[in-house]
Amino acid sequence: MRKLAVFGNWKMNKLLGEARALAQSLKAGLAGTTGPEIAVFPPSVVLSAVARELRGTPVGVGAQNIHYEPGGAFTGEISAEMARSAGAQYTLIGHSERRHVFGETDQWVNLKLKSALEAGLVPVVCVGETLQQREDGATREVVQRQVQAAFEGVESAQAAGVIVAYEPVWAIGTGKTATAQATQEVHAFIRSLLAGAFGEETAQAMRIQYGGSAKPANAAELLAQEGIDGLLVGGASLDADSFCAIVTAAAGQAQQ
């Protein structure tokens, strides 16, 4: 059975009551679901409330972002330990919006990855190229730089538990989706980079998600591709029916 991972990034959406309601709908809609690993990433201010709603269900909870320091004068930030104490089991690292809107560097991504591992969180390291970089033929160059920088100084034993999410920036929130073949090729390239860094066995154990306008209509096709080990879902994760449909598609693929 394939161990697929379907994660929903709520981004800056859902007030407290709305977040609880969505969590309750997911709790009902995904009760008894087996096969894929499932998690949602709510805003930090509602993380603990969502974690309480989903406790004892198949749906885990993650933080959208962490700071790499354990504490200190970093107004507006949360540490990995804070996220964990609020109920997080996962954290996104280096999401494209953190890189391109907030200016996070490859070095920060590396530090955050190490901080997450130290705190016992499962890191989901995001990599991917912009539209300009893609049109310039620089996809592999960008992805290689991001992957190698993110994992610098990380041991194989630690890397095995890290999830990588390939998110072509030009396909996020635009409704555009990379073709299945193009996505599969980048995933294979990422896995080759991981094999070069940590060995073939570790690379094969690591999961590589696709994140770029994944929705119920294309979930099964994407997940049927070799080397695509799950989906990082954006907008579709804000609707319980849509997210449950994607999870159902993953459950079907996991059995194949």
Catalytic residue IDs: 95, 167
How many other C-beta atoms can be found within 10 angstroms of the C-beta atom of residue 157? 9
At residue 175, what is the residue type? G
Residue 204 CA to residue 94 CA, distance in Å, equals: 22
Helix or strand (DSSP H, E) at 41: strand 37-41
Strand, helix or coil at 206?
A: coil
How many other C-beta atoms can be found within 10 angstroms of the C-beta atom of residue 31? 10
Q: What does the block give as tokens for 98?
A: 């953190």
Residue 58 CA to residue 256 CA, distance in Å, equals: 20
Contact 10, 23 (CB under 8 A): no
Angstrom CA distances, 12 to 19, 43, 154, 235, stand at 11, 6, 30, 11
CB burial class (10 A; 0-12, 13-18, 19+) of residue 91? buried
Q: What does the block give as tokens for 66?
A: 């962490």
Among 7, 59, 1, 27, which Cα is nearest to 208's?
A: 7
Q: Find the angle CA(27)-CA(30)-CA(31) to the nearest 5 degrees.
A: 75
